[in-house]
Structure 1
Amino acid sequence: MSLARVSTASGEEFAGRTLPVRPELRAVLPWPGLRRGATIALRGSTSLLFAILASATAEGSWAAVVGLPGLSVLAAAEAGVAVERMALVPRPGTQLGEVVAALTDGLDLVAFAGTTMISTAQTRKLAARVRQRGTVLLPLGPWPSADVELRCANGRWYGVGAGDGHLRYREVEVHATGRGAAARPRSVRMLMPDPGGPVALATGTGNARKDQHSPATLPISRATG
């Protein structure tokens, strides 16, 4: 893999340009895709991260995920991520900020866990760096200068009955807050995964009522989401 994607272009060259994103997520974004140079904090589910990465990597963009040693490449592939264009840095050690900064020089999307390890000064430098490089920064946790924060809540799995069946799909609420164009809160109900694919909108009174089995309310895990 080459890290030579980025030219010496200024941030103005990337203004208004976006990377593709799944249609189901456009309802909670203030842009028609993932705006280059933006910081989008993700909280509550690794499935949300996969949904964000899927369309961009499938259409040729390169991504990195830093600080998630338990990440399942198989789960990413099943969610539609082009894993051959996803670099993994499971354990960046104490140099998390430096590793993330280096990756923004060569990749289109950089996601990382361990946000509390990044100092305020590094936060400001990273924000300026991604704007200049046109990278989409995806902190997996609280990030004070995020343009948008997407948070999964109230996850419910369906398919398990009274001692029988298996988990088939999960309904979650995705809430968005942010600043500027994203200042108005938005939310959408989604199925991640959906019985027929990785992601779908939850419609009407909920696809779950069509299932004969009862819902199972389980905690949403950042590691396994």
Structure 2
Amino acid sequence: MSGSATASLTALNGVSAANELTQTPVGKALPVLDGLAGLLPWGGLRRGSTVVVRGSTTLLFALLAAATAEGSWAAVVGMPDLGLVAADELGVVVHRLALVPAPGPELVAVTAALLDGLDLVAVARQPAPAEARRLSARARNRGSVLIPLGSWPGADLELDGSGRWQGLGDGHGRLRGRELTVRSRGRGAAARGNQVRLTLPGGWPVDLPTDRPNVAAEPARLRSVTS
């Protein structure tokens, strides 16, 4: 990665190295919403870790919500259709969310620069395995959290989300909420795996690859139904 990518980010107002943005030391955990804490062996998103998210951008937003609400900065790379309204409804503080919708051939350089400057970085495309491992090592070194959306070699934890909407009848009705089932598996302390069911009232259906109908959204609250 060229130094210009890092310099251009650190020159932005309010952006500095990840371990300067918060007093949380490397290795400690960034907060998550209560319903998700039981899935994570560290009780939150451990700094320096790589946490894969599969099947649901709703789950990605839920992971980013508590950390951004407490002052952390996040970025999403390679998702041009990301719904910021849905992110806001699920509790993400969107003015602390940087978007790089189309990084093109600079995917690795851009992701590495963001890992230098922000607390959490989600990336929607996997580079070559060697480059993916280097990005995980960079997150580990910088004390940031790398969140790939899909397969990633050597990830510390993998979260799979699937769900269904509640409230629609036979061609009529109003979406009242979404039930999301999340399964975890990983290495070390996360090897045994876990599962929770969460209920998110209202919101937009933002799971990929399904379409997003234009429906009214209600403020989201996340609660665990069962574990």
Q: Does the 8 A contact of 1:177 with 1:186 survive in 2?
A: yes
Q: Does the 8 A contact of 2:34 with 2:223 survive in 1?
A: no
**TM-score of the superposed pair, with normalisation by structure 1:** 0.82
Percent of aligned pairs with the same amino acid? 54
Matches within 5 A, 1:1-225: 1-6=13-18, 14-15=26-27, 17-115=28-126, 118-153=127-162, 155-193=163-201, 197-203=220-226
Q: CA deviation at 1:37?
A: 0.2
Q: Does the 8 A contact of 1:3 with 1:105 survive in 2?
A: no
2:14 maps to a residue whose letter is S
Q: Deviations over 1:188-210 (max 9, x none)?
A: 11123467734222259xxxxxx
CA distance in 2 between counterparts of 1:92 and 1:161 reads 41
Q: Does the 8 A contact of 2:19 with 2:143 survive in 1?
A: no
Q: CA deviation at 1:5?
A: 2.7
Number of aligned residue pairs: 196
Q: CA deviation at 1:7?
A: 5.7
Q: What is the DSSP-based 3-state SS (H/G/I as helix, E as strand, rest coil) of the residue aligned with 2:178?
A: strand
Q: Does the 8 A contact of 2:164 with 2:178 survive in 1?
A: yes
Q: CA deviation at 1:88?
A: 0.4
Q: Does the 8 A contact of 1:64 with 1:109 survive in 2?
A: yes
Q: Deviations over 1:14-51 (max 9, x none)?
A: 13x11111110011111121100000000011110100
**TM-score of the superposed pair, with normalisation by structure 2:** 0.81
Task: Please list every run of 5 or more consecutive structure 1 residues that lacks an aligned counterpart in the other structure.
Answer: 205-225
Equivalence for 2:212: none
Q: What is the DSSP-based 3-state SS (H/G/I as helix, E as strand, rest coil) of the residue aligned with 1:3?
A: coil
1:141 maps to a residue whose letter is G
